Amino acid sequence: MDKIIELIKEKNIGKIEENVSLKKYTTYCSGGKARAIVYPKDIPSLVELLKIIKENKIKSKIIGNGSNLLFSDKLYDGILIKLNEFNKIKFIGKNKVRVGAGYPLIKLSLQTAKKSLTGLEFASGIPGSVGGAVYMNAGAYKSDMGYVVESVKVLTPELKIINLVNKELDFHYRSSFLQKHPGYICLEVLIQLKNGKREAIEEVIKERRKRRIESQPLEYPSAGSVFRNPEDNYAGKLIEDCGIKGLKHGGAMISEKHANFIVNYKNAKSSDIKYLIDLAHDKVLENYGIDMKIEQEFVNWE
């Protein structure tokens, strides 16, 4: 790995950080160290990096803001790629916006509100990147990225740049083409919104922020909802009905405020968090026969 890192530095691909704690790069604030995190400065640099990774058979992963990831506590002996430099934003015509994959989703929601554009209010509390949101088809309040994305510029596994339109992206509840085809990388997104009134849009955002503060344990690190809501039911209620709301393991806890949140209340290890995720899943399955789907992605547990 040392030689690979030196090669990346020589080719001036972008900023590189070595042996960094993943606690800084995930919203759970847990996990081991990463051997290297690379921030490609542009698309050609990303392509060059991916060629190096492929030729040398190095383990790698694109990560956004780490808001849906649970890394294990061991070393990630590979290269993590962050597209923070892919952060350009451009408003087009009356109601479209072209935005880089590394742009923060919450910031985008607030920026579009200032332009009196409605449709991204649901995203005002989702702490991910735009690329990560498309990948996961992030959503809330009965809306998601599938409702607003017109097209996405992607890098294919063959390192070619193509555009995928909404229909090709196969958006479903917390799912997309990109999630099912992880070799494709989101570079840039074209979003279509509707014209509205700035005051009304910002009032919706303000009201939802107030509701989140009241109902979610925002005072602790977490990754948001752990499980998808089963059809005609609520994951939080099912977990609470199992009698394990507030249960602690190591530094992790099933939130006393909302049972579908697992929080890092005291320097939790990722293994503490995963223990509670598995426990909640198994308890609901045992008591109600419901196989709840986990929203978060487990990385480096093999």
Catalytic one of 98, 174, 208, 212: 174
Structural contact between residues 35 and 79, judged by C-beta atoms closer than 8 angstroms: yes
Active-site annotation holder among 48, 121, 188, 295:
295
Residues 185 and 101 in one domain: yes
> Mind giving me the DSSP string for the chain?
-HHHHHHHHHTT-EEEEEEEEGGGSSTT----EEEEEEEESSHHHHHHHHHHHHHTT--EEEESSSTTEEE-SS-EEEEEEE-TT---EEEETTTEEEEETTSBHHHHHHHHHHTTEES-GGGGG--SBHHHHHHHT-EETTEEGGGTEEEEEEE-TTS-EEEEEGGGGT-BTTB-HHHH-TT-EEEEEEEE-EE--HHHHHHHHHHHHHHHHHHS-TTS---S-SBPPPTTS-HHHHHHHTT-TT-EETTEEE-SS-TT-EEE-SS--HHHHHHHHHHHHHHHHHHH---PPB-SEEES--
User: Which pLDDT score, from 0 to 100, does residue 278 have?
Assistant: 98
Same domain, 176 and 238: no
- What domain count does the chain have? 3
15, 114: one domain: no
The answer to whether 228 is a known catalytic residue is no
pLDDT digit string, tens, across residues 32-90: 999 999 999 999 999 999 999 999 999 999 999 998 999 999 999 999 999 999 999 99
Does residue 106 sit in the same domain as residue 65? no
Asked if 295 is an active-site residue, the reply is yes
Per-residue pLDDT, averaged over 11-34, amounts to: 96
pLDDT, position 119: 96
Q: Is residue 211 part of a domain?
A: no
Identify whether 207 is part of a domain: no
My answer on whether 114 and 186 are in the same domain is: yes
Task: Specify whether 18 is located in the same domain as 105.
Answer: no
Determine the structural domain holding residue 196 and report its residue range: 89-201
Looking at residue 62, which CATH number applies to its domain?
3.30.43.10
CATH of the domain at 103: 3.30.465.10
> Look-up: residue for tokens 């939130």?
255
Report the pLDDT value the prediction gives residue 283, as an integer from 0 to 100.
98
Averaged pLDDT, 12-21: 97
Quickly tell me which residue has 């890394």 as its tokens. Answer: 71
Residues 251-270 have a mean pLDDT of 97
Residues 102 and 48 occupy one common structural domain: no
254 and 167 in a single domain? The answer is no
Average pLDDT in the chain: 96
What is the rounded radius of gyration, in angstroms, for the C-alpha atoms of the chain?
20
98 is catalytic: no
